[in-house]
Amino acid sequence: MIRDRGRIKWTSMMLPEHVKLLRDWVKEDRYEDKKEMDEQQLELMNDTLSEAIEFDQFVAITHYRNRNYEIVIGKIHYWDETAGKLHVVDRFEEVHRIPIGAIADIRLSD
């Protein structure tokens, strides 16, 4: 029977620079492309945003950051029109400043 050790067999022959490049390459494969929004989605998100601000409700905001999508759950503190950012306070009292152009989805949360 052949006992192949897989990756272990080859790592001793690789330089640390090569290992780093391979790890970076694997990270790049996980990057996501930013999706374009249509008018109906923007209108629905605007309605949800207005309702959440008016009734002080928790929202789940999906936004594009560092080539990946992230989710923030919290209450909207205020909208900074000059900077174009939405200030959200999560359940741990941490403030997130999310650019309006990076928002992909807004949903009401319980």
Average pLDDT value for residue range 7-17: 70
* pLDDT reading at 32 higher than 80: yes
pLDDT tens, residue by residue, 39-86:
999 999 999 999 999 999 999 999 999 989 999 999 999 989 999 999
* Number of structural domains found in the chain: 1
* Rounded CA separation 86/59 (Å): 12
Residue 57 lies in a domain: yes
* Rounded CA separation 110/37 (Å): 25
What 3-state DSSP class applies to 39?
A: helix
Q: What is the CATH number of the domain that holds 103?
A: 2.30.30.520
Domain extent for 88: 39-108
- What count of other Cβ atoms lies within 10 Å of the Cβ of residue 98? 21
pTM for this model (two decimals): 0.74
